[in-house]
Amino acid sequence: MVLELRPPEGTTLDALRELGPVFISYVLSFVFVGIYWNNHHHLFQAVRAVDGRVLWANLFLLFCLSLLPFASAWMGEHEFAAVPVALYGVILLAAAVAYFGLVRTLLPIQPEGTRLAEAIGNDAKGKISPLIYALAIPIALVAPAIAFAMYVAVAVIWVVPDTRIERTLSR
């Protein structure tokens, strides 16, 4: 997955300023990919067994995330227009569902004594995030700025230190 940022035509500060929406979109997408990367890393540290369905659940998550740069570029280049902002939410929702599915595929096949369930906890964030996305998608069509603020809010609750992964992990 490659987020892209093309240099502006001119060389003035104004030319740079015009990149504003694209850059904001880039930052938010980088943060979301980072959240998934960190959580994925954390998840698989506690995983002891995988099967064919896990590989496919993992690929489906990767597929959803591979669409994020596309939606991110569309949203940024058109200054957070309604449909692109809604599509961005659809892809975030799909990725959240894919991650949830991956976790549910992993849980039943772990050998006894694996700390996966413990590592996941009650997963309040994982349950609230898709609800916020589902609310934001129709809102985006009438008030994209509010939908965008909702995406940012989800990112913030994930970035803020999480006691689950705050524990030091030995390598």
Could you give the CA distance from residue 43 to residue 127 in angstroms, rounded to a whole number? Answer: 16
Single residue of 77, 123, 138, 153 touching its own copies by CB under 8 A:
77
Q: Does 6 bind its own copies (CB under 8 A)?
A: yes
Q: Is 109 in the site for its own copies (CB under 8 A)?
A: yes
As a whole number of angstroms, the distance between CA 168 and CA 112 comes to 23
The per-residue b/e assignment along 91-122, b for 16 or more CB within 10 angstroms, e otherwise, is bbbbbbbbbbbbbebbeeebeeebebeebbee
Select 53 or 127, whichever has its Cβ closest to its own copies: 53
13 near its own copies (CB under 8 A): yes
Exactly one of 24, 43, 70, 143 binds its own copies (CB under 8 A); which one?
A: 70
Is residue 55 a contact residue for its own copies (CB under 8 A)?
Answer: yes
Using CA atoms, how far apart are residues 44 and 124, in angstroms rounded to an integer?
19
Q: 153: which DSSP letter? A: H
How far apart (Å, rounded) are the C-alpha atoms in residues 163 and 49? 25
Site membership for its own copies, residue 100 (CB under 8 A)? no
Q: Give the residues lining the site for its own copies (CB under 8 A).
A: 2-3, 5-8, 11-13, 15-16, 27, 30, 34, 37-38, 41-42, 47-53, 55-56, 59, 63, 66-67, 70-71, 73-74, 77-78, 81-84, 87, 109, 111, 159, 161-162, 165-171
